[in-house]
Chain A
Amino acid sequence: MKEFAPIPLGEWVSDGIDRLTLEYATAFDSISFVIYELIDSLQSALHAIPAPWFIVLISLLAVLAAGWRRPGGWGLGLFTLVGLGLVWNLRLWDELITTLSLVLASEVLVLLVGIPLGIASAKSAMVERILRPVLDVMQTMPAFVYLVPAVIFFGLGLVPGVISTTIFALPPLIRLTSLGIRQVPRELVEAALSFGATWWQLLTKVQVPVALPAIMAGVNQSIMLGLSMVVIAAMIGAGGLGNVVLEGITQLDVGKGFVGGLAVVILAIVLDRITQSTGKIYQQKGKPR
């Protein structure tokens, strides 16, 4: 019996990508340029602030975000102060800033793409049907796989790092935005419509504000995912803390790997708590504080 030849799926994909790179080279170049400008300005702005100032500033921000009247707020502030102080002490401050600006830049892109897509998929069953399998693929595909096309399209360095991070961090925001808007009580929507709300008024005055806790949870999730991806993106030269970890692995330097990993964890905890408490405070608005 004659064996079936393997379907050349891999070849098709690489052919397709080759053609894309050739035909849309200018498009990719301009995207690359815009994103590069974004990261670069973010990075230089963050680098411009002296480390001690920056640490104090972020600690105060944490206190404010978690609520300065609650003891937990001051605890978070203290943790931020000590944690970031440790990173500075370990001489990883520049790497931390690079990683932070990568995460923030990709989060900007995630917000720009994710919230409109989330709203669209909440409002249209068709969009939702199309998006769902795409999101499934995006979330289950091993993170490394994004690196290859990113490199092919955008070369090595910061830009493909941001792009692959964005793609990886996008799904939870879309899903949670869509879910949040779908879960706005039907009677609330009807109330707005019965008073003659336009589509835009309904969205901005009712649906998005009421769904905001869910959207904020999505933002938090995507920042966390972005941070984990930024480390992987060090493999394509994105730099930052991921690079420290990568060097630790390649040089079998356990200490270096640990220190880099610890810095990532500290940054993750700080970002997570700050974004989470922002969402929570919004949720609790109106309750006696």
Chain B
Amino acid sequence: MSATAPTPTDSVHQARTPKIRLEKVSKIFGRHADRALELLAQGLDKKTVQERTGVVVGVYDVSLEIAEGEIFVIMGLSGCGKSTLLRLINRLHEPTTGKVFIGEEDITAMGAHALRRLRRSAFGMVFQSFALLPHRNVLSNVEFGLELHGVPRPTRRERAQQAIETVGLSGYEHKYPDELSGGMQQRVGLARALAVDPQILLMDEAFSALDPLIRGQLQDDLIEIQERVGTTVVFVSHDLDEAIKIGTRIAILRDGRLVQVGTPQEILAAPADDYVSAFVRGADRTKVLTAADVMLPLHTFAHLRDSPRALLRKMQHSGFSGLIVLDNQRHPLGYVELRQVIEMRDQARLERSALRPLPCAAPEEPLSELIRRSNVEGSPMVVCDAKGRVIGVIDKTTLLAALAQQGETDESAAATSEQTAEQPACAEPTPNESAQKPPSGESRVSMEREDKS
């Protein structure tokens, strides 16, 4: 699955040349734009300006840079100017003030002819309502952009066919839009945009009209296609989960003003103001936080050669009801519970058959995935590095705490140190550098080392 949350390497995007650059762009709908701009400059909000001058503020004073190859998500509540901002990028809306650059070219200064040429060479656009031509079949709809460009029929047939394959619609070429489901119609819309081989793909709430399952599929497909083709994508959405899932960076708009721009992690970790944090509160953190973010260091564990009696003692000490068993290379062997240790207390060592299998998670695995897997058994989950060695542990309590977490990082740090103090048996350094550690004071997982000699 290619839909994992993007890694927080934003500096990479900023270092590249910006593909799209907006300089202090404003869009006012209606007359008396000057007066409205004056009032906005004084800091009045959209509603007040509308009451006083009768104009509608689309966006105000937005400056942005979008790098090549990014999936840039514009977010906000409805009516905050997201779609207006998107349409300013290809000048479907004429900016009232400010400039828009595509590459090196100032699109706001272009004549009609040059603008049309740029639109043909640079842009593909996908719409919330799909905007397919009802009287044309799928193939002909996908050809539409190329047809406008004057591409000869055999070539455009071929390219349309490729685009149809890219979005997985082969076999539907001769269907008409109203014979297709919403999800398939939007695939046609996407294919139509991809067929012109655009440098920039503009997507206006493209998946908002679809049901969640189909939406998820299309999001995955978009990410996959984008990785393959390398198109710059500007995506308008009001769904934060969607933005987090597909966005390399997110811009948050409020009443036409830009409030914050950053990677999903940045925005979740440090919301710029109350508006953003209120916005972000509903976000599904489990898709952003990873195993490495919430795991605890592995302090105490058992070996196969340990005598059950020694383990019992250690369990008594720590108050935990089970132990993780590792081999010499710190590979996980399994999990043993108090009940089984008591049964085996007269034996010399643990029996391998008594161990419960222990799931191993990768450090970058998102929390949502861990939650899905964790509810099967009561045993904790270990986080392993690429060589299969344990680097941390996550139990149910940790997961719950991570879900409940609302920035109480101080508490979590205190709790972790507390636990460490209680069990000084093992002080192995663990590669846990996450700033977003959840509170985990009551972790019941215990690991204890015993030399296997």
Contacts and interface: CB of A to CB of B under 8 A. Distances in A.
B179 A191 contact: no
B278 to A, nearest CB: 30
Contact of B131 (A185, A197, A286): A185
A275 B118 CA distance: 43
Nearest to A192: B148
A194 B135 contact: no
Interface residues of A, number: 23
B148 A196 contact: yes
Interface string A177-221: 000000001011011111111100100011001101000000000
A230 to B, nearest CB: 33
B134 A210 contact: yes
Contact of A288 (B127, B179, B202): B179
B176 A285 contact: yes
Nearest to A198: B116
Interface string B130-159: 010111010000001101110000000000
A91 interface: no
B135 A196 contact: no
Nearest to A212: B135
A2 interface: no
A287 B127 contact: no
B134 A195 contact: no
Q: Which of B117, B135, B137 has the most CB atoms of chain A within a 10 A radius of its CB?
A: B135
Contacts of B179: 286-288
A191 B196 CA distance: 13
A196 B131 contact: no
A195 B196 contact: yes
B130 to A, nearest CB: 8
B125 A190 contact: yes
B148 A191 contact: no
A209 B134 CA distance: 9
B368 interface: no
A196 B176 contact: no
Contacts of B148: 192, 195-198, 201, 205
A195 B145 contact: yes
Q: Which of A193, A198, A205 has the most CB atoms of chain B within a 10 A radius of its CB?
A: A193
A187 B149 contact: no
Nearest to B147: A205
Contact of A194 (B123, B137, B176, B177): B123
Given A285-B135, A286-B176, A286-B179, A190 B147 contact: no
Interface in B198-212: 202, 204
A187 B128 contact: yes
Q: Which of A188, A195, A288 has the most CB atoms of chain B within a 10 A radius of its CB?
A: A195
Contact of A287 (B131, B178, B196): B178
B444 interface: no
Contacts of A197: 116, 148
B13 interface: no
A213 to B, nearest CB: 10
A194 to B, nearest CB: 4
In this complex, the interface size class of chain B, counting residues with CB under 8 Å from chain A, is 20 to 34
Given A194-B123, A195-B125, A286 B147 contact: no
Q: Which of A197, A198, A210 has the most CB atoms of chain B within a 10 A radius of its CB?
A: A197
Q: Which of A191, A212, A287 has the most CB atoms of chain B within a 10 A radius of its CB?
A: A191
Interface in B86-132: 87, 90, 92, 116-120, 123-125, 127-129, 131
Contacts of A285: 135, 176
Nearest to B121: A196
B135 A210 contact: yes
A117 B45 CA distance: 43
Interface in A240-289: 282, 285-288
A281 to B, nearest CB: 12
A140 B79 CA distance: 43
B116 A209 contact: no
Contacts of B145: 195
A187 B129 contact: yes
B196 to A, nearest CB: 7
A206 to B, nearest CB: 7
A197 B117 CA distance: 10
A72 B45 CA distance: 61
A187 B116 CA distance: 17
B90 A194 contact: yes
A208 to B, nearest CB: 10
Interface string A159-192: 0000000000000000000000000010110111
B129 A185 contact: yes
Interface in B350-364: none
A282 B135 CA distance: 8
B116 A190 contact: no
Contacts of A209: 133, 135
Given A187-B128, A286-B176, A287-B179, A194 B119 contact: yes
A193 B147 CA distance: 13
Interface of B: 87, 90, 92, 116-120, 123-125, 127-129, 131, 133-135, 137, 144-145, 147-149, 176-179, 192, 196, 202, 204
10 contacts: A190-B92, A190-B131, A195-B123, A195-B149, A205-B133, A210-B133, A212-B135, A285-B176, A286-B176, A286-B178
The 9 closest A-B pairs by CB, nearest first: A286-B176, A196-B120, A196-B119, A194-B125, A187-B131, A195-B145, A191-B131, A187-B127, A196-B116
Given A187-B128, A205-B144, 16 more contacts: A187-B204, A190-B125, A190-B131, A191-B144, A195-B144, A195-B148, A196-B116, A196-B117, A196-B118, A196-B123, A198-B148, A205-B147, A206-B133, A209-B133, A212-B135, A285-B176
